[in-house]
Structure 1
């Protein structure tokens, strides 16, 4: 039995290595934007939640700071106490989740072993399975859709930009996903108008 298990170990380890190699540490988001924004010229922006009841929220102040940093990198300045040239409104939402069926390799699939002989300094017998293939199993998961929406308006209310970034997540850890949604929303900002883009962010390259 010990010799039998020792011959199985390389097979199991190899399968695990293939499974891990197939996994990529990537954040994916669908981003759609609609805009009539002119090229930025250092306009001063004021950033606030769209919902009045969230304007005193410490959580949403943190999200506003994240958006403000991206806007600064794209040529805008914070208005501070000055009169803003543009008003940026945003909101963050996450739904109640839905069940999603996924498939994954099954390492616990039943195996049928047959015997074959080798010639190597005499005969010995070794088990093998000529019909083995990597079986899969269906797994039910609860996934949530997290969405970041952002609008840019003139002080008179004229709408210049509206966009959203959304992703599927297995947890309701909103503070962890908002920075990634913001990063996806600002890829090639403001992006092509009226187009949904599938954004991928390599978290390993980003040092996360």
Structure 2
């Protein structure tokens, strides 16, 4: 494999991981905790933003979190009952940012490489391309005058949008407000649909819950079974 192909293959790995595993969901999860062992303590889930309280969307996510807390040994407080633990939740997704992907084309490039943006043959240099949003981006040329007996190797360039989503969860002792747990699950994906993102972030948050305090781990959520 030529040096040009080696560089391109290495550069493509993160992009393949992002776009090729559409059936799975990966998130980085950070947790800090001083939670006592669950012994049936009661809890109440609330929105960190009061404007979300009572909303149908938040209620759906709160039910998912309640189910997870019940699974690990806590008990949801009955209506009107004072809960031992107060669970505050916030979630969201940003407006996205554009990324550029450059992949080798299968056809012949220009003869002999030529003078690129970084020098002869384009080694370490860049060339301008127009993205689908009409902006100018500079990508590696990778023109090698010694490849294929003097034929250059061009790149196909595409752009796409990625989004960062996040779920924050805090657990306080209701009696005195002492903080017992802080957790953050964050993911980068090409999907900005909260009804898809939040359930996956919740599952990532509760994988290995409550986790080792101060540790950040990468959690991969398997896709639901077919049917």
TM range (shorter): 0.7 to 0.9
Matched, 1:144 2:154: no
> How far, CA to CA, are the matches of 1:147 and 1:105 in structure 2?
34
Q: Cα distance, 1:57 vs. partner?
A: 1.2
Q: Cα distance, 1:136 vs. partner?
A: 6.1
- Deviating more after overlay: 185-194 vs 169-178: 169-178
> How far, CA to CA, are the matches of 1:196 and 1:183 in structure 2?
15
TM-score (norm 2): 0.66
- Residue correspondence of structure 1 range 66-105 to structure 2 within 5 A: 66-81=64-79, 82-103=81-102
What residue number does 1:207 align with?
A: 225
Over residues 126-182 of structure 1, what are the superposed CA-to-partner deviations in whole Å (9 max), with x where a residue is unaligned? Answer: xxxxx6xx9863422111111011000011211000101011122320111111100
What residue number does 1:195 align with?
A: 215
C-alpha RMSD over aligned residues = 2.4
Query: How many matched pairs?
Result: 166
5+ long unaligned stretches in structure 2: 1-15, 110-147
TM-score (norm 1): 0.72
> How far, CA to CA, are the matches of 1:153 and 1:31 in structure 2?
19
Change (3 A) 1:104 1:64: farther
Q: Cα distance, 1:111 vs. partner?
A: 5.6
> How far, CA to CA, are the matches of 1:110 and 1:104 in structure 2?
12
Q: Secondary structure of the equivalent of 2:51? A: helix
5+ long unaligned stretches in structure 1: 1-18, 113-130
Residues 43 and 87, structure 2, Cα contact 8 Å, conserved in 1:
yes
Q: Which structure has the greater CA radius of gyration?
A: 1
What residue number does 1:47 align with?
A: 45
Residues 66 and 76, structure 2, Cα contact 8 Å, conserved in 1:
yes
For residue 27 of structure 1, the aligned residue among 25, 28, 42 is 25
**Structure 1: 4+ residue segments shifted above 4 A:** 103-106
